[in-house]
Amino acid sequence: MRFNLQLFLTYIVRMFSLYLLISLNLVCLTFAAKSDDLITSLPGLSNFPSFKQYSGYLDATSTKHLHYWFVESQNNPATDPVVLWLNGGPGCSSLDGLLSENGPLHVNNDGETLYANPYSWNKIANVLYLESPAGVGYSYDDNNDVKTTDDEVSLHNYNALVDFFKKFPEFVKNPFFVSGESYGGIYLPTLSVRIMQGSSNINFQGMAVGNGLSSNALNDESLVFFAYYHGLFGKVLWDRLGVDCCNGTITKENCKFGNPVGDCADDVAEVFQYVYNCGLNEYALYLDCASNIDIGNGKRYMFDMNNVFRSLKPKLRASVLSQKIMVKPTSRLGVVPPCINATAQTNYLNKASVRQALHVKEGLPTWAVCSDAVGASYQRLYDDMYSQYHQLLKHPNFRILVYNGDTDMACNFLGDQWFVDGLKLTSTMSHRPWYVEGQVAGFAQQFGNLTYTTIRGAGHMVPQWAPSYAYSMFEKFVLDKPFTN
């Protein structure tokens, strides 16, 4: 058979043209999907910012679609880090973090208008806010199946990240970090391990966990110490705890506050009355509680309180967390002091014009700061995160930041400090203060690539209540700057 050079060349040209056509179509499809998510206006915002924002959906599975809001950096989006932010719960929305903590736009109390946050984390980073798992906020499952587990959530979040970088391939080489708070103490390490083990080309460089639930037992045990040394109850009860719970010597090793029995259980229940039931703000000891019980109020509180003292016998735990005030409530406290107020964010995100601007799928239920359905059916698989941290610490260039607002009682600083101590790492910088504009912002200690720090005077939501300190901390972490000179 005679070789026909002309036919061969014609075939090559046609195949190359077909390849170019397919490639261009794929590029156009990707661009179209991304451009469809571009936010072009937001109700209640007089001056639209110059940085780009996107809102849409990322596929976690073929049926689970996670709503995201992505804000590009105000500095240099092309080279600045990409940072994922996850709120906790389990079952609470990361849009609460965007609109009241570290996002560029916050909601005024009127629930109608927005204002610029001068301490937004997107001053120096591209930030991705992901509503996870399906059923939270505007995320959904095609079959309304919102039952899930810790491991499934980490897988679905990983899949969503892979989908994000397919949609935004220009960011895949940027340094990537995960961050979040509260039950993010479980979400983030499990996701981080999965990213490390995955086949994606994500340029993964670090994890920052704020007021995280790192160990159920240590969080519970430490709270009694926290309460006593913050003056919430007196020496008579403290001494009784020593006898009934600690074999006469009160130390972290001796005491069994997290799983009390007999007289010890009665003593611990009395401590709980002071901590939870006398009208204090469990999120921030020195702040007042929100004054009104309204839509959105108390949701986040109830979800976070569900993380404490899970080892108690059900009857004792139910009575402790029933929120019956032990003293006569004032008109300010009402019957159930929720202590935080998500009314403004709730009202804003449920405006029809806002849903349209954010490209929210039609027919979804109203937005809530936390999902009852997700929280009620969620299956917890882990009591602590030691295994995950040890796996992550094997990677020599991977940075970890553990930080705590030092007035939080939901996930108190002492429990996370004990958790870090339990990793048995070698200290490379002793415990010392660090400063923002001449003021002590917190106290940090370094263990190689892991840094632990407190944030002075802040509660559970650090970026909300100590925004300048939180921003400085975030800058030091993602830009790999020392906490102290």
Residues marked active site are found at 182, 408, 460
What is the C-alpha to C-alpha distance for residues 146 and 134, in angstroms, rounded to an integer? 6
What is the C-alpha to C-alpha distance for residues 173 and 127, in angstroms, rounded to an integer? 15
- In three-state secondary structure terms, 345 is helix
Choose among 253, 332, 245, 343: nearest CA to 298.
343
DSSP 222-257: HHHHHHHHTTSS-HHHHHHHHHHHSTTS--TTT---
Phi and psi, residue 27, nearest 5°: -60, -45
What is the C-alpha to C-alpha distance for residues 23 and 370, in angstroms, rounded to an integer? 42
What beta strand segments (E) does 182-237 contain?
204-210
What is the SS3 assignment for 311-330? CCCHHHHHHHCCCCCCCCCC
Answer whether the bond into residue 175 is a cis peptide, omega within 30°: no
Q: Is there a contact between 106 and 117 (Cβ–Cβ < 8 Å)?
A: yes
User: C-alpha angle 67/71/75, rounded to 5°?
Assistant: 165
Q: Torsion angle of alpha carbons 72, 74, 80, 81, nearest 10°?
A: -50
What is the C-alpha to C-alpha distance for residues 369 and 364, in angstroms, rounded to an integer? 15
What is the SS3 assignment for 163-184? HHHHHCHHHCCCCEEEEEECCH
Question: How does strand 429-436 pair with strand 399-405?
Answer: unpaired
Count of residues making up the chain? 485
